[in-house]
Structure 1
Amino acid sequence: MDRQIRRVGVALLALICLLFVQLNYLQIVRADKLANDPGNSRKATRDFNRERGVIQTADGVVVAESVPTPEGKFKRLRRYPESTLFAHVSGYLSFTFGTDGVENTYNDDLAGRSVEVRDVRDVLSDRVRTGNVTLTLTKGLQQVARDALGARRGSVVALNPTNGAVLAMWSFPSFDPNPLAAQDQRAVQASWKGLQADKSKPLLARTFRERYAPGSTFKVVTAAAALERGPELVGKPYPRLRELDLPRTDANLPNFGGSSCGGTLPDLLKVSCNTGFAQMGLDLGAERLAAEARDFGFAARPPFDLNAPAASEFPEASSFRRDEPALAKSAIGQQDVAATPMEMALVAAGVANGGVIMKPHVMGEVRDSEGRVVRSGPSEPWQRAMSPANAASLRDMMVGVVNGGTATRAAVPGVQVAAKTGTAQTVGDNSHAWIVAFAPAEAPRVAVAVIVESQPGLGDTVTGGRIAAPIAQTVLAAALRSR
């Protein structure tokens, strides 16, 4: 009998020990994860009932704030005074759909949970002292980008090439985050369903989450590959052709509009010569071209401080072993090459910054509730794409594109601009109009990328030089005036 009692006692003691271990595991090891789980409704309710920090622009305009509400389940609601203007930057805080954008990345700062914005007294007393986030963007330049693009689908990205700070980042169509942060969850659900059903995809941050064929803007990368890895090709005169016969096939690759072109690298870049750059891609070979694309950040997610940036794409060198025509087309930004507008802005910024691409970011600084700066945006290199000397050579070639080539409409009076245009044919008879640019060319302060999506037609009226260049010119001029 005593033996049975002892067995039962041991079993009960073991169960108690297991329960104790499990409770400690939940309360200590997994406490933070469970507390911050997006599906934790108690956490979401708590966050909505607490103070939350402000998101504001570099020029002091409030983009997101918490306001008290007299009625309803929540004591406070998130309000977005600028509506659609910064929606793809600020993101949203929604009881039902969680967070996105700055509200996601800097959630702990805004909610007062990060170590930097709290001290020991706050932790012991559970006092909430929120952090406030100041962006690198200004309302003025963001409005310029929005107005310049107009009601056309596309994106505008402007960066400071010397430190990676995003100066403007506009994607159209956009959306109003306010309905997603409302009290009435049925209304929130209806708003979300409407946004999801909209074929124009207003929720999509095209600037850093959508990939497109970069077209001839990718010739900047091909030119860099020649300068860095194929110096024997830089001075090589390429024959004047109307179309290039592609190897191992009966197909050919024509120049835009059936024109003829040729010459050395500066000549080819100035007029965006397809036949010359396609042959240059073949001369470089897959290994050298793919390596340079990787050095510019292709095939990697950029270290952007907003969540879920898309990785731009350039095929592995091995994929071209039996497909030289694909290599020729890839050298001019077609075939399976795909890039986000952010990536192409970084390409321009890399050339502008002596070959070094800086980490892009929208956070200028985080301040605690007493106004002390607890964190500043990074000013750190991401990629070394070119040597300073070769970057300077490529810059001079891009200046030639503005002064007498395909990007004359990007010229800013009194300032030397460097640029490269692109026109990427898409499904049917539509084309994406592209440009990448930076200014002033000798001491760059701003780099931009512009894409206008799916413009109808294939002729001179839908080129990057005609459609995207004036947008870039407007943004560059405004950015230089304000800096």
Structure 2
Amino acid sequence: MTSSTPRSRPRRRRHAIADPRRFAPLAATALVALIAGVALGAGHVPAERKTATAFAEAWSRGDEKAMYALLSDDAKQRTSEARLQRTYKQAADTLTLTKVRAGRVVDDTTIPIALDTRLFGTLRGTLVLPMGDRKDADPGVDWRAELVYPGLRRGEKLRRETSLPPRATIEARDGTPLAKGPDRLSDLGPLASEIAGTVGPAPPARAAELAARGVPKGAAVGLTGLEREFDERLTGTPGGILFAGKRVLANVRAKQGEAVRTSIDTKIQRAAVEALAGRYGGIAVVSPQTGEVLALAGIASSAPQPPGSTFKIVTLAGVLQNKIAKRSATFQYQNAATIEGVEVQNANGESCGGSLELSFAHSCNSVFAPLGAKLGAEKLVATAQKFGFNEDPLVAGAARSTIPAAGEIGDDLAVGSSAIGQGKVLATPLQMALVAATIGADGMRPKPTLLKGADPERVRATSKSVARTIKSYMRTVVTDGTGGAAALPGIKVSGKTGTAELRTTVKEEPAPELADPNTPPPEDDTTDTDAWFVAFAPYSKPSIAVAVMLVGQGTGGDTAAPAAGAVLKAALS
């Protein structure tokens, strides 16, 4: 029997197989570390880029002080803050710069730049900022003057040659040229030059404005009248060449402006000039509905004078609006009123009074000075300002019409004097024409414009009810009061006279024992008063408002009212 021994089997080597779950925390930790590293790298901003970004932002907002603070130590040794500011200002003037737009910094120190200019449009370039050291701070801009413009080379300076197109034509509302060509002539001759104004070298006060527009020094610009009012439009768009040293950076051609069609009516303008008849004064004519200025003659907008009793229109509006007196009120007939112990006399010592309407029609100082004092300085000034006083006119070269602040007027006597257009109240014929226009337009004050067809702009100065009451009272001035000389056949005219004292209308009588019975009394001196008249017509739907002011020409009813009547007749015929 054969016995056998079992064959031993080879032993398998057992390999340890790692459990994935044992490595999960390690993998997660590594992943977090990787992400954190990436995030840290992404959030790191190089110091040069921070400086370049801050410099670009400061330039965009025009903050040269902040720009200078970012300069390197060496740059600050070479350049003062004042020099840096001066360099950027000179460049801005040369470029006619309006805005700097800096793009996002690339490559740490490179900045795309867009420069918006009036003359050359938008200029684009890339600015590379050299960097230098700053003690205890990030790197600074190693600034030199060529950095004022992208791509400017060392030693190059910006300069500009400018050319102007022919000056555009000024036209009346019917298209008739008032000023054209290089000599600014018109077939209307002196009539046109009266309103067109003059051109010539700019006064120093306008240097900055003209430089910003790209107008070269010494160029002829509008100085007065319509030439000044529409100067920018008449000048057109200057042309020019921008140089960097000898290199041409930009070149634009001059573009002539379009003719300006103004609101001036040649027929009414002629009538205003003829009515003024060479006398020192002014006549203004406006449209109550649109504010269009139809005529300006003499010193119609440039030399404010005391408006006298024409200002009673404003005072009456304040009295009625604030219920200081009722429409039915009556007043004692007298030739003067006493305020603060001082007599305020009526013109020529006349005795007047009666109803409020009759007192207005006969321009009674003895009624309106006390009413003004009762109204008070604050309400009188507030009313005047609603009518346009103390407001910058919208007509270039026009002077402000003013009334002192309430706290500066003084006592009741001063307030009463202001209420009758004396004291320190000053107005131009243009302003008083707008006061008349406001009443004619039911209390809506038109803003003046010299441009035909401009969108009318009006603001409420007083209520419709108050305006209509004053409107009827102004009609009475012409029919039964001091303004009869402005009456026109077939046309209902409403007006108000004014006689503003330049010295005094109260004459001192000699002592009886010194009077010579054989000497005739002296004739009235008409040189110590300004004559005023304001009016609108026709009554039902006014299309014309006029103001006449004649310096040193006596009473409004005698001299200004006839002149206003002549202008109204020409305008409405």
Shorter-chain TM band: 0.7 to 0.9
Asked if the contact 1:315–1:336 (Cα under 8 Å) also holds between the matched residues in 2, the reply is yes
Where do 5+ consecutive residues of structure 1 fail to align? Answer: 1-8, 37-41, 68-76, 115-122, 172-205, 365-375, 456-461
Q: Which letter maps to 1:295? A: K
Distance in 1 separating the partners of 2:202 and 2:233: 21
Q: Does 1:446 align with 2:538?
A: no
User: Out of 54, 60, 68, which is 2:175 matched to?
Assistant: 60
Q: Which letter maps to 1:139? A: T
Distance in 2 separating the partners of 1:353 and 1:224: 14
Structure 1 counterpart of 2:198: 92
Asked if the contact 2:324–2:375 (Cα under 8 Å) also holds between the matched residues in 1, the reply is no
User: Out of 479, 482, 498, which is 1:422 matched to?
Assistant: 498
Asked if the contact 2:163–2:254 (Cα under 8 Å) also holds between the matched residues in 1, the reply is no
Q: Which letter maps to 1:56? A: E
Q: Does 1:341 align with 2:425?
A: no
Residues 17 and 395 of structure 1: CA distance in aligned 2, closer, same or farther (over 3 Å): same
Q: CA deviation at 1:92?
A: 1.9
Distance in 2 separating the partners of 1:479 and 1:55: 22
| 2:531 partner SS | strand
Instruction: Summarize the alignment of residues 20-99 of structure 1 with structure 2, pairs less than 5 Å apart.
Output: 26-28=90-92, 31-32=95-96, 46-47=163-164, 50-67=165-182, 77-79=183-185, 82-87=188-193, 89-95=195-201, 98-99=221-222
Q: CA deviation at 1:158?
A: 0.5
Q: CA deviation at 1:30?
A: 6.1
Q: Which letter maps to 1:332? A: I
Structure 2 counterpart of 1:149: 276
Structure 1 counterpart of 2:320: 227
| 1:234 partner SS | coil
| Cα deviation digits, residues 97-148 of structure 1 (max 9, x gap) | 642233233223222229xxxxxxxx97524232210111122211111111
Distance in 2 separating the partners of 1:434 and 1:44: 52
Distance in 1 separating the partners of 2:497 and 2:161: 46
Structure 2 counterpart of 1:6: none
Structure 1 counterpart of 2:231: 107
User: Out of 419, 435, 458, which is 2:533 matched to?
Assistant: 435
Asked if the contact 2:548–2:564 (Cα under 8 Å) also holds between the matched residues in 1, the reply is yes
Higher mean C-alpha displacement, 441-450 vs 52-61? 52-61
Where do 5+ consecutive residues of structure 2 fail to align? Answer: 1-71, 99-116, 119-158, 204-220, 239-249, 505-524
Distance in 1 separating the partners of 2:263 and 2:251: 34
Q: CA deviation at 1:233?
A: 4.0
Q: CA deviation at 1:59?
A: 2.0
Structure 2 counterpart of 1:317: 406
| 1:207 partner SS | coil
Structure 2 counterpart of 1:194: none
Structure 2 counterpart of 1:368: none
| 1:253 partner SS | strand
Q: Which letter maps to 2:487? A: A
Q: CA deviation at 1:452?
A: 1.1
Structure 2 counterpart of 1:117: none
Q: CA deviation at 1:91?
A: 2.2
Asked if the contact 1:320–1:326 (Cα under 8 Å) also holds between the matched residues in 2, the reply is yes
Q: CA deviation at 1:453?
A: 1.0
Would you say how many aligned residue pairs link Structure 1 and Structure 2?
A: 393
Q: CA deviation at 1:358?
A: 1.1
Distance in 2 separating the partners of 1:339 and 1:43: 45
Whichever structure has more helix as a proportion of its residues is: 1
Residues 330 and 63 of structure 1: CA distance in aligned 2, closer, same or farther (over 3 Å): same
Asked if the contact 1:361–1:378 (Cα under 8 Å) also holds between the matched residues in 2, the reply is no
Distance in 2 separating the partners of 1:316 and 1:277: 20
Residues 453 and 320 of structure 1: CA distance in aligned 2, closer, same or farther (over 3 Å): closer
Q: Which letter maps to 1:274? A: N
Q: Does 1:397 align with 2:495?
A: no
Q: CA deviation at 1:300?
A: 1.8
| Cα deviation digits, residues 364-406 of structure 1 (max 9, x gap) | 2xxxxxxxxxxx524112x421111111111011111111111
TM-score by length of 2: 0.63
Asked if the contact 2:94–2:160 (Cα under 8 Å) also holds between the matched residues in 1, the reply is no
Identity of aligned residues (%): 33
Q: CA deviation at 1:32?
A: 2.6
When Rg is computed on C-alpha atoms for both structures, the one with the higher figure is 2
| Cα deviation digits, residues 145-175 of structure 1 (max 9, x gap) | 111121211111110010100111111xxxx
Higher mean C-alpha displacement, 228-237 vs 12-21? 12-21
TM-score by length of 1: 0.74
| 1:227 partner SS | helix
Q: CA deviation at 1:65?
A: 1.4
Distance in 1 separating the partners of 2:529 and 2:492: 28
RMSD: 3.1
Residues 408 and 44 of structure 1: CA distance in aligned 2, closer, same or farther (over 3 Å): farther
Structure 1 counterpart of 2:297: 170
Instruction: Summarize the alignment of residues 71-470 of structure 1 with structure 2, pairs less than 5 Å apart.
Output: 77-79=183-185, 82-87=188-193, 89-95=195-201, 98-100=221-223, 101-113=225-237, 125-171=252-298, 206-247=299-340, 249=341, 251-304=342-395, 306-307=396-397, 309-320=398-409, 323-364=411-452, 376-381=453-458, 383-427=459-503, 429=525, 430-455=528-553, 462-470=554-562
Q: Taking CA–CA contacts closer than 8 Å with sequence separation of 6 or more, which of the two structures ends up with the larger relative contact order? A: 1
Structure 2 counterpart of 1:477: 569
Q: Which letter maps to 2:230? A: Y
| 2:279 partner SS | coil
| 1:379 partner SS | coil
Q: CA deviation at 1:21?
A: 9.0
Distance in 2 separating the partners of 1:219 and 1:454: 20
Asked if the contact 2:179–2:192 (Cα under 8 Å) also holds between the matched residues in 1, the reply is no
Distance in 1 separating the partners of 2:416 and 2:376: 9
Asked if the contact 2:502–2:530 (Cα under 8 Å) also holds between the matched residues in 1, the reply is yes
Asked if the contact 1:416–1:440 (Cα under 8 Å) also holds between the matched residues in 2, the reply is yes
Asked if the contact 2:324–2:371 (Cα under 8 Å) also holds between the matched residues in 1, the reply is no
Distance in 2 separating the partners of 1:12 and 1:243: 79
Residues 344 and 28 of structure 1: CA distance in aligned 2, closer, same or farther (over 3 Å): same
Asked if the contact 2:272–2:283 (Cα under 8 Å) also holds between the matched residues in 1, the reply is yes
Distance in 2 separating the partners of 1:447 and 1:112: 33
| 2:260 partner SS | strand
Q: CA deviation at 1:329?
A: 1.2
